[in-house]
Amino acid sequence: GQNIDQPTEMTATEGAIVQINCTYQTSGFNGLFWYQQHAGEAPTFLSYNVLDGLEEKGRFSSFLSRSKGYSYLLLKELQMKDSASYLCAVRDSNYQLIWGAGTKLIIKP
Amino acid sequence: IAGITQAPTSQILAAGRRMTLRCTQDMRHNAMYWYRQDLGLGLRLIHYSNTAGTTGKGEVPDGYSVSRANTDDFPLTLASAVPSQTSVYFCASSDRANTEAFFGQGTRLTVV
């Protein structure tokens, strides 16, 4: 079957760095997405990786290793507004998105 | 409107009743999707449409139907609601099947 694993919850301190990991097993691979979802709101797009390596976008970076079925989202200079759930999703061979359950990130002052 | 809009925002529905969740986008995206999101589970695909006039079944299609008469609208119908369909429903769209999806604000549905 298809599976996306990410930690259920993480806690970090304002101003620090946090890394959220995602491992996947899917039928085919056509890209990996990270989304941010604040409580009670819709998911919003953060990043997209289709080739191995690091993609940097301001305070957020996303890394992909296709051979290891592994990705991480790195958040730097954490702010209180970064408290949210972070969703990892993989597009499979049928171009459908398979979603992880999300990682709830709690930022403490 | 700009983006993707869902209606209603929330609804309490008696079991056995029929209900249609509406979804409209003005981005002229070809692909549209309906997901449900339940606590502790990832977003699960109910139905999708890669282009107007076509639809497909996702991971959890039973009890739901969709139609795609035009590019902008993608309604989701529950023919006879059951309590297990209590969930938050998200409609999404993307320009092509391999680009990021944009989400509506969600519909919180409670079936009692």
pLDDT tens-digit profile of A43-72?
999 999 999 999 999 999 999 999 999 999
**CA-to-CA distance for B19 and A80, rounded, in angstroms?**
39
Q: How many CA atoms lie within 13 A of B17 on its CB side?
A: 13
pLDDT at B98: 65
Q: Do A42 and B100 touch (CB under 8 A)?
A: no
Handedness of CA B33, A30, B40, A14 (dihedral sign): negative
pLDDT tens-digit profile of B91-105?
999 987 668 899 999
The three-state secondary structure class of A82 is: helix
| A44 interaction partners in chain B (CB closer than 8 Å) | 103
Closest CB from A30, A48, A87 relative to B100: A48
Q: How confident is the model at residue B41 (pLDDT cuts 50, 70, 90)?
A: confident
CB distance A42 to B106 below 8 Å: yes
Residue B71 predicted with pLDDT over 60:
yes
pLDDT at B97: 61
**CA-to-CA distance for A20 and A30, rounded, in angstroms?**
21
CA-based nearest residue in chain A for residue B105: A42
Residue A22 predicted with pLDDT over 60:
yes
Is B14 touching A (CB cutoff 8 A)?
Answer: no
**CA-to-CA distance for A64 and A50, rounded, in angstroms?**
8
